[in-house]
Amino acid sequence: MKRLILMRHAKSDWSASGDDHGRPLNARGKDSAAAMGRWVEDQGWTPDEVLCSTATRTRQTLTLLGLPHLPTRFERTLYLAEADEIIDTLRSAEADTVLLVGHNFGIAECAHALVKTWPDHPRFSDYPTCATSLIRFDVTDWGDIREGIGVCDDFAVPREVIAGSQPG
């Protein structure tokens, strides 16, 4: 079995100067990333490997999750990637539990494509910042994943995690 923690980066600071790739997180994003790190840990889904976009906001999100140091590959191909590019990158993973941190719209499209049944959560469709899905696959190799075979075991957004409540 393979398990995927699919996370959109936390809220970024649109007032920051510079290019999009270098845009940092804002204060709310920093709090959200820390909360989602605790939530992932509380679910018992500790990743063995990380695939992360090279953008500043994804790197900061990863750092603020507070997870132990893990083998990490920073992939430029994940920067603003579409779903098929994300899935192709995921197929190169080696560990059993992988955290993938990327950007919308690709992350939402990827989550929607990979799972057989969407979770009963009103925000799964738009996948807000720092939204996270826990998806498992009944495969032995990441190269065998394809659309529609994943089971979404959980989905959460920072606002609910911070407030201590989740729908469903």
Angle at 154 between CA 161 and CA 6, to 5 degrees: 90
Contacts of 125 (CB under 8 A, 6+ apart): 108, 112, 118
pLDDT, tens digit (0-9, with 9 covering 90-100), for 91-148: 999 999 999 999 999 999 999 999 999 999 999 999 999 999 999 999 999 999 999 9
Has residue 168 been placed in a domain?
no
Alpha-carbon Rg of the chain, whole angstroms?
A: 14
Q: Which whole number is the average pLDDT over 45-63?
A: 97
Has residue 76 been placed in a domain?
yes
Has residue 31 been placed in a domain?
yes
For all residues of the chain together, what is the average pLDDT? 95
Instruction: Give the pLDDT of residue 71.
Output: 93
Has residue 57 been placed in a domain?
yes
Domain that holds residue 159: 2-163
State the virtual CA torsion across 109, 1, 64, 106 in degrees, nearest 10.
-10
* CA distances from residue 102 to 25, 46, 60, 90, 139 in whole angstroms, order as listed: 14, 18, 12, 12, 23
Q: Which whole number is the average pLDDT over 47-75?
A: 95
Structure tokens at 38: 């605790």
Please determine, for residue 8, whether its predicted confidence score (pLDDT) is greater than 50: yes
Are 46 and 37 in contact by the 8 Å Cβ rule? The answer is: no
Give the CATH number for residue 109.
3.40.50.1240
Instruction: Give the pLDDT of residue 167.
Output: 56
Give 5 or 18, the one with higher predicted confidence: 5
Give 165's pLDDT tier (boundaries 50, 70, 90): low
Instruction: Give the pLDDT of residue 166.
Output: 59
What contacts 24+ positions apart, CB below 8 Å, involve 144-147? 145/2, 145/87, 145/90, 145/91, 145/114, 147/87, 147/113, 147/114
The percentage of residues in the chain with a pLDDT greater than 90, rounded to a whole number, is: 92
Has residue 152 been placed in a domain?
yes
Instruction: Give the pLDDT of residue 168.
Output: 46
Instruction: Give the pLDDT of residue 17.
Output: 77
Number of domains observed in the structure of the chain: 1
The percentage of residues in the chain with a pLDDT greater than 70, rounded to a whole number, is: 98
